[in-house]
């Protein structure tokens, strides 16, 4: 099957993957651009997992201030080399992460950061809700599991839907970036400021 340059460009614009990777993915799925996006994502996840053990000691501090200056975010995103940290692609990714934090107000980077006592408290609340709704014990456990997943998607940055593409989580976006730039990337930390907000 012949793959046109237009199809390759369309897939490249959607994913940021290299031209040869895009062409190969399109050939594998008979030119279906949406299916090729899925293929590239899956390949990206595999490539990203291979790189996830590499040290990330370089990177940049990115910031985003919302129009009107009432909301601002500072984020640290790390990569392996200073060369990559200075590329427009990496800097655009950091800006996207800062905008995500501004828009979706996560509390943690990943579920590993959620304290055990917080998790236990939330689980107990969800279990009590399920039992109050009249659900049997064994069903309540499944409900707690489902509601915890939803809780993680609200409070953990990596599990939130990406504000620019809700079909993709931030973790999937991160892994697609790792596959594209061929270096490990980690979102280390962030701070979100809002004028007038109360301190805990």
Looking at the 3D structure of the chain, how many domains does it have?
Answer: 3
The pLDDT, as a whole number, for residue 84 is 92
Do 124 and 167 reside in the same domain of the chain? Answer: no
Domain contains 124:
yes
Whether residue 199 lies inside any domain: the answer is no
The pLDDT, as a whole number, for residue 154 is 93
Asked whether residue 31 is domain-assigned, the answer is yes
Q: Are residues 9 and 103 in the same domain?
A: no
pLDDT computed for residue 177 by the predictor: 87
Does 31 lie in the same domain as 87?
no
Instruction: Judge if 104 and 62 occupy the same domain.
Output: yes
H helices present in 52-191, as ranges = 82-85, 88-104, 116-132, 137-155, 170-181
| In a domain? residue 43 | yes
- Is residue 13 one of the residues assigned to a domain? yes
Are residues 20 and 47 both part of a single domain?
yes
Instruction: Please tell me the distance from the alpha carbon of residue 145 to that of residue 41, in angstroms, as a whole number.
Output: 26
Consecutive 10-residue runs of the chain (200 residues): their mean pLDDT? 83 72 85 84 59 75 91 95 93 96 96 91 87 82 87 94 92 87 91 83
Q: What pLDDT sits at residue 44? A: 64
Are 122 and 97 in the same domain? no
Q: Give Dmax (Cα) for the chain.
A: 60
Residues 28, 120 share a domain: no
Domain interval for residue 181: 58-110+156-194
Residues 97 and 179 in one domain: yes
Instruction: Indicate which CATH number applies to the domain containing 63.
Output: 3.30.479.20
CA atoms within 13 A on the CB side of 145: 6
pLDDT at 138: 78
**Confidence (pLDDT) at 193:** 93
pLDDT for residue 9: 84
pLDDT value, residue 23? 85
Both 120 and 27 in one domain: the answer is no
């Amino acid at each position: 099957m012949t793959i046109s340059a237009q199809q390759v460009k369309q897939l490249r614009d959607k994913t940021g993957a290299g031209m040869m990777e895009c062409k190969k993915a399109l050939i594998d799925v008979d030119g279906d651009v949406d299916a090729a996006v899925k293929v590239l994502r899956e390949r990206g996840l595999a490539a990203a997992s291979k790189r996830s053990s590499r040290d990330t000691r370089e990177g940049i501090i990115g910031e985003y201030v919302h129009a009107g200056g009432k909301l601002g975010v500072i984020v640290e995103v790390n990569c392996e080399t200073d060369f990559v940290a200075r590329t427009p692609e990496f800097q655009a990714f950091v800006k996207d992460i800062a905008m995500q934090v501004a828009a979706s107000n996560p509390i943690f980077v990943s579920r590993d950061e959620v304290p055990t006592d917080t998790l236990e408290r939330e689980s107990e609340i969800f279990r009590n809700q399920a039992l109050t709704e009249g659900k049997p014990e064994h069903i309540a456990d499944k409900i707690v599991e489902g509601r915890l997943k939803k809780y993680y998607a609200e409070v953990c940055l990596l599990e939130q839907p990406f504000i620019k593409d809700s079909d993709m989580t931030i973790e999937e976006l991160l892994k697609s970036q790792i596959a594209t730039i061929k270096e490990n990337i980690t979102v280390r930390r962030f701070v979100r400021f809002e004028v007038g907000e109360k301190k805990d």
